[in-house]
Amino acid sequence: MKKYSLTTTTFLTATLLLGACGTNNNEERVEEKTPKGTVSNPQQDETVNQLQTDENSQKEISFQYFNLNIGTTENENIIHAEVDMKDSKADAIYKNILASTDLKGDAAYALLEPIFVELELTKDMREEEVIDRVTEQFGINEFTNFELEIEFKDGDNKKYSKSVE
């Protein structure tokens, strides 16, 4: 009888010790799942998170639709930015080969919003001024092809384009 109680005690003690040594401690690491074909840059992810929580946007964006394509001699689609803010939620796509960026949705909009605020575009601006502001904000010094379509909040559509050989 004593042999059984000693065996049972040893078994229960071992079970409790092994159970207490487990790694399940509510700090489980959950890996982010990045969709295939999407570039993930940790520094960029931190910037996106900071921008999404930053609520100091005092200036207003003057347009509700923005579609930009810039090409260079190295790549005909070096930058593509498209944002549709006609509905209550902004649909955004941002591809920038120079910055290794390929984002969609909220992450794309979070990176584009500060650029849009700084642009301060109006429908009365000259085409050359719009092109200069946009290329400066997107960090492009030289380009071969520039195409921009904007729909301002009042519904007025403007297209800007320039090709350089």
Asked if the model's pLDDT at residue 29 lies above 70, the reply is no
Non-local (6+) Cβ contacts of 73 within 8 A are 142, 144
Query: Is pTM beyond 0.85 here?
Result: no
Smallest Cα–Cα separation from 57: which of 118, 106, 133, 137?
A: 118
Can you list the alpha helix ranges (DSSP code H) found in the chain? 2-20, 42-53, 105-119, 127-137
Mean pLDDT of 37-63: 59
Mean pLDDT of 138-164: 95
| DSSP designation for 55 | -
Distance between CA 28 and CA 23 in Å, rounded? 8
Q: Which of 33-37, 98-102, 136-140 has the lowest mean pLDDT?
A: 33-37
Res 6: pLDDT: 52
Across 122-164, the runs of DSSP E, i.e. the strands, are 145-152, 157-163
Asked if the model's pLDDT at residue 51 lies above 60, the reply is no
Asked if the model's pLDDT at residue 36 lies above 80, the reply is no
Res 60: pLDDT: 83
